Amino acid sequence: MFKFRCFIFIVLALIYTNQTSAQILNLEVIGENENKTAAIDSVGYETTFDNYLNLETELNTLKAKLTRLGYIDTTLDSITKHNDTLFRAQLFLGTKINRIQINYDSNFNTELLNFINHTKGNDFFELDISQLEASLNELNSKIAEQGDPFSTLQLINLTKLNSNLILADLKIVTNQKRQIDKIIVKGYEKFPQSYIKRFLKLKPGKSFNLNAIKEKVELLEDLRFASNIRDPEVLFTQDSTTLYLYIEKVRTNNFDGFLGFGTNENTNKIEFDGYLDLRLINNLNYGETLNLFYKSDEIDQQTFRVDANLPYLFASPVGLQLGLNIFRKDSTFLNAKQYAKINYQINAQHSVGAGISSTNSTNLLDNDTATLNDYKSNYYTLNYNYTKPQFYDPLFPINFWFELSSGLGNRENDFGKESQTIFNLDTYKIFNLNIKNSFYTRFNGAILTSDNYLDNELFRFGGINSIRGFEENSLVANLYGVINTEYRYRLSSSIYVHSVFDAAYFENQITNAKEKLFGFGFGLGLLTNAGLFRLNYSSGKSENRQFKLSDSKVHVSLTATF
C-alpha cells in the first residue's frame, strides 16, 4: 500500500512539474510616456515566451533595434512581475537623434560613397541614423568587391554633439587582398577552359568578388551544352584562393526532319518532300558545333549544306566558321558555295563577324541564255548576331533571335563583271503573355542589288521554314520579305497548339513580277521522349488568286535531342 501511495505521489509531482515548465510567459514593454510607448510598439517585439531567458533575449534585441533608429540612450529601467505569467518592462528611450556624422581619414576611397544616400563634407559624411546599418553594409560589400572579402567597418569614438547629431570615426579593418589563384570544375571536368576564360570571364589572377562570380556563373544558363547545378564555392587558405564551379553537361545534339505531302496541280497525285537537319554540339568538349543539312522537295530541288563553328580558338575571343552549300535545281543549274568567317564573341549574347564567300554556278542546260549561264561570284561579308535564350522552356528555347548580314562583291561570267551587294535579315521574338499564352512573330528577308540578274543567283524561298502553304523553295526573287506569326496556347507543359498567319512580298526583276502572298493554317507541337513533334496544316494564296483546299500543305517534323 505504501509503495502504491509513493507511485501516485511521484506521478502527480511529474504532472505538476510538466505543467509548470510549459507555462507561457507574456511580456509588455512601455516607455517613459505614451509617445515613447507608441514608438516601441511601432518597432514591434515578441510578446509570448516559453521561459524567462528567451524573454530577456527579446528585450536586448528590442533595445538594439531602438538604438539603430536613433534612440541611443535606451536603457532598461525595470522589469516587474504583475502575476504568474505577465512581466512588464520599463524602457527609457530619451531623445531620438536623427543624424550621424562619420569622419574618415585620407586613405578612405570616397568613390564608395556614391553607392549610399549621404551628405558629404570635408573629410566626413552624414547619414540618417535609420540608414546607418544598411549604408555600412553596402560600403563593406563594395570594399569586399575590391578583393578584400574579410574587411570590416567599425565606428569608434562615438560622441553626442547635440540633441540631433552624433559624431563618430570610421575605422576600416582590412586583411590581405584576395585574388583567384585556381579554378576547379566539379561534375563536368572536361568543360572547355576557353569558356571559363572568355564566356564567363573568370581566370586566375583576377580580384576576388563573390557576388560578381555568382552573376557570371549564371551565364551558364545561356549555354546549350552546360548548366550550373549549385552555387560556386571558395576555399580560402593562408596564401591562396581556390574557386569551385559545379557544372553538368547537357545533351544538345539535334536531329530534325519533316515529311510533307500535297497534291500536284498538274497530275492530281500526292507528292512527298522532306529534309534532314543534324546538329552536333560540344561532342569534343570544345563548345564546337557541326551542322549537316539535306533537303529534297517536290519540285525536284536538292540542297546540301555542311558547316562547322569553332569558338574561342586558342582560348581567344575569336572563333572560326567554315561551310559548304550545294544547291541543284532539277536539270537546270548547280550552285556550289564556300564560305569562311571569323567571329568575335563580344559577350554571352552578342557576336560580330567578317568573312569571305565564293560561289560557282554551272548551267546544266545545253545553251546559255541572258538569264541563265555559268558564273562565279566573290563577296566580303559582315554579320551581327544577338541571341536571348530561355533554355528553361524545352518547347521554345530561344526567346529572341536577331541576325543581320551583308556582302559586297562581284559576279563574273561570259558577259562581263558585275558589282553586287547583298543583305539578309532574320529575326524572331516570343512575347510571353502568361504561362499558357504567347505570341510568336518572325521576319525574314533579303535583297540582292545588281544592274542585271541571273535566274541561278536569285533567292529561293517558301515552305515550312518560310511562308507556309507554298511549296519548298518554289518562289524566286531578287528581293523578298516574309512575316510569320503564331498565337500559341499551351494545353500542358508538353503540348501546344497554334495558329498560322503568314504574309510575304517579293520582286523578281527578270520576270517583272511583284506579288503579295498570304498563308493561313494551324498546327500543334508535342514534346515526347523522342523529341519535339510538330504538325502544320496551311494553305497559301497570292494576291490575285483564291484559296484552294487542293493547294494546302501538311508538314510533319520531329526534332530529337540526343
Task: Give CATH for domain 254-561.
Answer: 2.40.160.50
- From the list 298, 346, 289, 351, the residue with the least C-alpha distance to 323 is 289
Contact 378, 408 (CB under 8 A): no
Contact 468, 555 (CB under 8 A): yes
The confidence score (pLDDT) of residue 5 equals 53
Task: Give CATH for domain 182-249.
Answer: 3.10.20
**Cβ-based neighbour number of residue 36 at 10 Å:** 19
Task: Give CATH for domain 14-92.
Answer: 3.10.20
The confidence score (pLDDT) of residue 19 equals 45
Phi then psi for residue 71, to 5 deg, are -85, 70
The confidence score (pLDDT) of residue 522 equals 94
Contacts 24+ apart (CB under 8 A), 345-352: 345/198, 345/199, 345/311, 345/312, 345/317, 345/319, 346/317, 348/199, 348/219, 348/222, 349/222, 349/386, 349/387, 349/388, 350/384, 350/385, 350/386, 351/384, 351/385, 352/382, 352/383, 352/384, 352/385
Identical fold at 99-173 and 254-561?
no
The confidence score (pLDDT) of residue 263 equals 65
The confidence score (pLDDT) of residue 315 equals 86
Task: Give CATH for domain 99-173.
Answer: 3.10.20.310
pTM of the model: 0.73
Q: Supply 419's cell numbers.
A: 558589282
The confidence score (pLDDT) of residue 84 equals 81
Q: d(Cα 349, Cα 208) in Å, to the nearest integer?
A: 25
Per-domain boundaries in the chain: 14-92, 99-173, 182-249, 254-561
pLDDT tens per residue, the chain (562 residues)?
444 454 454 444 444 444 444 578 999 999 999 899 999 999 899 999 989 899 999 999 999 888 888 888 889 988 998 888 899 999 999 888 889 899 998 888 888 888 888 888 888 999 888 888 888 888 888 887 777 777 788 888 888 888 788 888 998 887 777 889 999 999 999 999 999 999 999 999 888 888 888 888 988 888 889 999 999 998 988 888 999 999 999 988 988 876 666 666 666 766 666 678 899 999 999 999 999 998 887 667 889 999 999 999 988 999 999 999 999 998 899 999 999 999 999 988 999 999 999 999 999 987 888 889 999 999 999 999 999 998 888 889 899 999 999 999 999 998 889 999 999 999 999 999 999 999 999 999 999 999 999 999 999 998 888 998 888 888 999 999 999 999 999 999 899 999 999 999 999 999 999 999 999 999 999 998 878 888 889 988 887 777 666 678 887 778 888 8
Q: d(Cα 63, Cα 2) in Å, to the nearest integer?
A: 55
